[in-house]
Each structure stands twice: as structure tokens, then as C-alpha cells.
């Protein structure tokens, strides 16, 4: 029996020496040490042993079991270590790899232009005012010296919501709102950017919704030369253009009124495609605030005078960035928008 035990041990150790994986190891454990394994099988014959032999064989059997168990445990922990290493290798993170940058948004080109214009005027002491896009007929027209039957209302086809409420056709109603909020006390020095709406058919130069920036200055002794100086400063900072000229024009809310051109910043005034060979580019409408408008705004025209101007943001942006179709600003093609995204 002792020999059987010893040869079983030899065989078991030989087999364990060749074991390739944890599953096979478990099978060998069952084969030799399991309930129905070889060791149990051999020990079943212990009943036939004498009282002296029994403890001797018992001890040999324990030694054999311990030897086999020892090797199994060794193998087991070797396999576990192997598995841990394999997993660690598979899960390695290369901390030196560059990260993926988060995609960041950017300001829309029109908002960029508005911010630029705001910065320039803030630098001249203006503040930024806002007004509603859904406006009353009174502020949009009447308070700007455009009574209901005034022919100049036809210049701006409007989106009416009711008889008295419409989508504002211009940012000029902010003039009226600002004046009324000041209780007839100057000075007023504001610009007001925002969306406006007109019943236009959309094409390369028209959009039923677009943006304007309004300007209004009221104080004692404001003259046309103040208007000219302010606009010249703006044009020089915005476009680097050197001169402006004023042409007589008509707006119901200003008297006198003037269209303002700047000398072409591309050719310097000698004539090119941008300025259609004229050397001048039209950029805005302006004038001295009409006494009636001052009055309706609660300012005494005998004490106060003022100037006002209004420009189209898209036009400024198109000139500044060489964009040839106003619809680009509203169709949100990322290929277009990304050209303006600076980090
Ligand atoms: N509101 C005018 C327009 O939409 C632009 C304008 C012209 C505004 C002259 C003014 C101004 O304040 O004085 O065509």
C-alpha cells in the first residue's frame, strides 16, 4: 500500500509538472485528492491493515496528500499571478498619449461684429441699450415722427401682429424708449444692437430678419460736427478707413438727414470692384434728431439737441469679411461659420 501511495505521488507530481492551465489543474486535484479520487481509493484498503501498519500508512498518506496539495497550490498561485499580469498588460493606459480636445463653440460672426462695434462706442463713452423685438406701432413709427398716414411707412413693409403691435422694422424705437426713460434730462449716449424684421423677399442682399445698431446722443449743444467726428472715429477703428462723407438724405426722425459713406478701405479711394469704382462705400444713415422726436421723447428741443444713426450689422460684417451673400449668416453652414472662429 505504501508503494501504491508513493507511485501515485510520483505520477501525480509528474502530471502536475506538465499542467498547462487552471482548469487542467483542477481536474488533477479531483483525480488525485477528490472524494472519488485515487488517494481516497487507495485509503479505502486501510481497513485490511493491522493496528501497527495503520498509523504508518496513515502518515505516508498524509505526506503524499501534503506533497500533492503543495504543488497544486504553487501552480495555482503561479496561474493567478500570470492572469493578473495578463490583465494588467491588457488594461495599460498610456498616460503620455495626447488627450482629445473638447470641441468648443465660437461666437457667431454677427455677434462678433456687434461686440466689436460696441467696444468702439463704449470707448467713446456710450452705453448699450436694448429694446423689445415685438414693438408697439407708437414706438416703432409714431414717436419717430411717422404718423399713421405717413408715406415713409411704405419704405418698410412690416409684420403686424395686431393693429398696434408689430415686429420692429428698425432699432430706432429704442431711441424713443430711452428718451422716455430719462425724463427729459440729458445727456443720452447709447447704442442699441438688435434684430429687426421686414416683409422682404430673401436674396443675396435682403433678409426678412436682420440686425441693426442704433446710436443716439442727446445733450446741450450737440451739433452735426459731433455726429461727423463720432462716425469718423468709428469708421477708422472698425475699417481703418481714413475719411467719411455725408450726403443729404431723408429720414422722418432726423432733420437734416445724411447717408454716410466711408472712403474705400481696399483701394483707398482710387476705385476698385468693392466700391464699384466710386472710391466710396455707403455704410449708414444718420442725422440730427428731429425736434418733434425730441419733444415726443420728453426732451425740450430749445434746450437739447442730438444726433442719431443706424447701420445694418450684416452689411458691416459683409464689408469687413468679404461675404457676398447675406443668407450665409442665417443658414448656419459650419464651413462658413468656422472661418470666423478664433480660439
Ligand atoms: N432706421 C433707419 C433704417 O432702418 C436707419 C437710421 C437712419 C437710423 C437714420 C437712424 C438715423 O437713427 O438717424 O433705415
Atom of ligand 1 nearest to the CA of 214: 12
Closest residue by CA, ligand 1 atom 3: 170
Work out the angle at residue 83's Cα, subtended by the Cα atoms of residues 78 and 86, and round it to the nearest 5 degrees: 125
Q: What is the pLDDT of residue 343?
A: 45
Distance CA 236, CA 240 (A): 4
Q: Give the distance (Å) from ligand 1 centre to CA of residue 192.
A: 12
pLDDT mean by block of 10 residues, the chain; 343 residues: 83 85 86 84 81 83 85 87 89 87 88 96 97 97 91 77 93 97 96 95 91 98 97 95 93 97 91 91 96 98 98 94 93 91 65
**Residue ranges per domain, the chain?**
2-90, 109-329
Given the C-alpha cell 465660437, which residue does it identify? 106
Atom of ligand 1 nearest to the CA of 289: 13
Distance CA 221, CA 226 (A): 10
Q: Find the helix or strand (DSSP H, E) in which 256 lies.
A: strand 254-263
Q: What is the pLDDT of residue 154?
A: 67
| Top mutation candidate among 150, 248, 290, 309 for ligand 1, by most atoms within 8 Å of CB | 309
pTM of the entire structure?
Answer: 0.72
Question: Considering the domain 109-329, what is its CATH architecture?
Answer: 2-Layer Sandwich (3.30)
Cis peptide before 256 (omega within 30 of 0): yes
C-beta of 178 in contact with ligand 1 (< 6 A): no
With CA atoms as reference, report the closest residue to 288 among 204, 231, 210: 231
Q: Give the distance (Å) from ligand 1 centre to CA of residue 183.
A: 23
Q: What is the pLDDT of residue 91?
A: 87
Amino acid at each position: 500500500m505504501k508503494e501504491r501511495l508513493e507511485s501515485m505521488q510520483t505520477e501525480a507530481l509528474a502530471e502536475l509538472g506538465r499542467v498547462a492551465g487552471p482548469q487542467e489543474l483542477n481536474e488533477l486535484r479531483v483525480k488525485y485528492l477528490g472524494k472519488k479520487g485515487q488517494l481516497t481509493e487507495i485509503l479505502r484498503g486501510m481497513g485490511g491493515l493491522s493496528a501497527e501498519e495503520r498509523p504508518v500508512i496513515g502518515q505516508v498518506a498524509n505526506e503524499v496528500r501534503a506533497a500533492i496539495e503543495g504543488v497544486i497550490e504553487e501552480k495555482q498561485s503561479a496561474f493567478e499571478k500570470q492572469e493578473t499580469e495578463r490583465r494588467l498588460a491588457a488594461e495599460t493606459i498610456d498616460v503620455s498619449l495626447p488627450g482629445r480636445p473638447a470641441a468648443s463653440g465660437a461666437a457667431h460672426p454677427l455677434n462678433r461684429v456687434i461686440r466689436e462695434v460696441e467696444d468702439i462706442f463704449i470707448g467713446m463713452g456710450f452705453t448699450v441699450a436694448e429694446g423689445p423685438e415685438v414693438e408697439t406701432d407708437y414706438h416703432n413709427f409714431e414717436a419717430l415722427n411717422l404718423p399713421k398716414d405717413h408715406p415713409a411707412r411704405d419704405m418698410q413693409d412690416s409684420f403686424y401682429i395686431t393693429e398696434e403691435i408689430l415686429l420692429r422694422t428698425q432699432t430706432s424705437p429704442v431711441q424713443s424708449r430711452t428718451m422716455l426713460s430719462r425724463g427729459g434730462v440729458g445727456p443720452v449716449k447709447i447704442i442699441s444692437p438688435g434684430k429687426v424684421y421686414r416683409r422682404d423677399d430673401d436674396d443675396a442682399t435682403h433678409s426678412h430678419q436682420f440686425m441693426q445698431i442704433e446710436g443716439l446722443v442727446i445733450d446741450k449743444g450737440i451739433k452735426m460736427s459731433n455726429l461727423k467726428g463720432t462716425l469718423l472715429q468709428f469708421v477708422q477703428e472698425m475699417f481703418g478707413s481714413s475719411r467719411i462723407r455725408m450726403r443729404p438724405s431723408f429720414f422722418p426722425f432726423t432733420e437734416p438727414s445724411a447717408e454716410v459713406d466711408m472712403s474705400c478701405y481696399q483701394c483707398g479711394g482710387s476705385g476698385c470692384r468693392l466700391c464699384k469704382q466710386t472710391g466710396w462705400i455707403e455704410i449708414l444713415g444718420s442725422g440730427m434728431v428731429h425736434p418733434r422726436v425730441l419733444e415726443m421723447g420728453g426732451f425740450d428741443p430749445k434746450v437739447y439737441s442730438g444726433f442719431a444713426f443706424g447701420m445694418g450689422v450684416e452689411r458691416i460684417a459683409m464689408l469687413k469679411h468679404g461675404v457676398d451673400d447675406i443668407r450665409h449668416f442665417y443658414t448656419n453652414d459650419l464651413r462658413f461659420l468656422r472661418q470666423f472662429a478664433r480660439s
